[in-house]
């Protein structure tokens, strides 16, 4: 493998990582602590992620329990969750915050699948952009006489092979996530 195929693999791998992170934030009927990753709590004037202020547990499949280390931050965490676009109403008993995850309706599950499709398409576009950028670099090397036309052809075939493999991986991840979302 050449350095360009390795570069391709590394950069396309980052696209897959971003897709997995996006999929982790899609709310299914199951409790998933990653949906809290983007929520920031105003903690003494500093926007702080919930995971830095509290322990997040999943005691059962449809419930998240958030236990703040500093009990004075309980109200701030609850307010941040209510202000977010999660669509979940937290319940606070003075010690912990419980987030019940109701099963989404059929219509809501279809909306979530559309969101997943958008994330997958964004990942595919990013992968194709990586392919284009690396192909341009290789073509430039050929124009400058650093590599031969045969080397250019070989590099482009290797880059395309990587692209096809990563696009297939995106499709597989999408298929898995769609099945998870549509599961009742």
Instruction: Break the chain into its structural domains and give their ranges.
Output: 3-24+105-182, 33-100
What's the CA gap between 87 and 93, in Å, rounded?
20
The pLDDT assigned to 118 comes to: 95
Q: Which two tokens stand for residue 136?
A: 């341009």
pLDDT of residue 1: 47
Maximum C-alpha span of the chain? 71
Give backbone dihedrals phi and psi of 86, rounded to 5 degrees, phi first: -70, -35
CB 74 within 8 A of CB 81: no
* Phi, psi angle pair for 46, to nearest 5°: -115, 125
Q: Which of 120, 129, 124 is nearest to 173 (CA)?
A: 120
Per-residue pLDDT 10s for the chain (184 aa) are 478 888 899 999 999 999 998 888 777 767 778 888 888 888 888 888 888 888 888 888 788 899 998 888 888 888 888 888 777 788 888 888 998 877 778 888 888 899 999 999 999 999 999 999 999 999 998 888 888 888 889 989 999 999 999 999 999 999 999 988 887 6
For the domain made up of 33-100, the CATH class stated in words is alpha beta
- Kind and range of the H or E run holding 67: strand 63-68
Domain 3-24+105-182 bears CATH identifier 3.40.190.10? no
Residue 64, pLDDT score: 87
**Nearest-5° Cα angle at 177, 126 to 55:** 95
């Amino acid at each position: 493998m050449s350095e360009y195929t390795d570069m391709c693999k590394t950069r396309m791998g980052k696209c897959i990582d971003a897709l997995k992170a996006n999929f982790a934030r899609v709310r299914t009927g199951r409790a998933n602590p990653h949906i809290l990753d983007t929520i920031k709590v105003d903690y003494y004037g500093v926007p702080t992620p919930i995971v830095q202020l509290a322990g997040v547990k999943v005691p059962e499949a449809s419930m998240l329990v958030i236990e703040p280390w500093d009990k004075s931050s309980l109200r701030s965490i609850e307010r941040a969750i209510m202000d977010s676009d999660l669509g979940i109403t937290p319940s606070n008993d003075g010690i912990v915050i419980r987030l019940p995850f109701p099963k989404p309706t059929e219509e809501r599950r279809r909306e979530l699948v559309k969101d997943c499709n958008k994330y997958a398409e964004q990942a595919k576009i990013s992968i194709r952009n990586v392919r284009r950028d690396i192909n341009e670099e290789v073509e430039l090397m050929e124009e400058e006489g650093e590599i031969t036309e045969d080397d250019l052809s070989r590099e482009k075939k290797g880059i395309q092979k990587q692209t096809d493999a990563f696009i297939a991986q995106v499709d597989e991840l999408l298929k898995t996530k769609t099945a998870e979302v549509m599961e009742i």
